[in-house]
Amino acid sequence: MHGEDGSAHRHYSDKCFEWRPGRLYIPAWQFTGLDYEATTAIDIKSMGTGAANDTSIVEINTSGVTGLNMTANANSVETFLMMPEDLDLQKNIYFRIWWTANNTSGSVTWDVLYKSFVADTTVLGTAPAATVLTTAIGSDAMAAAAYTIMRSPEGILAGGTLAENVEALQLGVVRTSVATITTASFLGLELRYSPRRLRGPDGMAKEAKSPIYIAAKQYI
């Protein structure tokens, strides 16, 4: 049997496949925009927007798990991410925030901002990532138990937005606003995407469906 390229290779393109989505999680403590603050507040903090004592890497409750406390609106943290090599830029890229708080009610509105980088061309500028997603994440309501692990709605960067020569992204996570909650603890950033795994010019005919849970057999 000949493949789509006329050769004897059966599988040349992703077009006829229905892969499960790719998933990438970046814990807060791995964000590249963290620094040691030795003056106003002696700890590891974000170099993003906010006063020196607005953000800090802390243990959540007494769990042994760390997160980045954000105590004021517009607090942000940046990271520099190399694009996954199997990410199909012609399909939507989804972003969501994992977070928690010492509250039993209230909500947090999160935003993810980005800047794209082309190797040997794009300059690391004097400002953080500033381009908004195609669809914002929006507000996420806190569960009824303090320190519950929360997962925000997904924000979307529309497929075809990034050029094929984009090799990296600068991503900014912003605590935009809160209701009731004083300190929002950022745990990590999740990316979900449609993979393109074969060398043919086409990705899948449709974007990868998201399972209800990571190992579920049912899909959204």
> CATH number of the domain that 141 lies in?
2.60.120.260
Position 24 scores a pLDDT of 97
Would you say residue 198 lies in a domain? no
Percent of the chain with pLDDT over 70: 95
Strand intervals (E) in 71-207: 76-82, 93-100, 107-117, 131-132, 138-141, 150-151, 155-157, 168-179, 184-193
Residue 48 lies in a domain: yes
Q: What are phi and psi of 178, to 5 degrees?
A: -140, 160
Kindly state whether residue 155 falls inside one of the protein's structural domains: yes
One-letter amino acid identity for 219?
Answer: Y
pLDDT of 175 reads: 97
Q: Which domain holds residue 171?
A: 22-193
* Number of domains, the chain: 1
Asked whether residue 209 is assigned to any structural domain, the reply reads: no
Question: In this structure, is residue 13 part of a structural domain?
Answer: no
Task: Look at residue 216 and tell me if it is in a domain.
Answer: no
* pLDDT score, position 214: 87
pLDDT of residue 8: 53
Whether pLDDT at 2 is above 80:
no
Q: Give the pLDDT band of residue 1 (cuts 50, 70, 90).
A: very low
Best CA proximity match to 54, nearest among 32, 31, 77 = 77
Q: Does residue 184 lie in a domain region? A: yes
For residues 140-164, average pLDDT: 98
Q: What is the pLDDT of residues 65-82, one digit of tens each?
A: 999 999 999 999 999 999
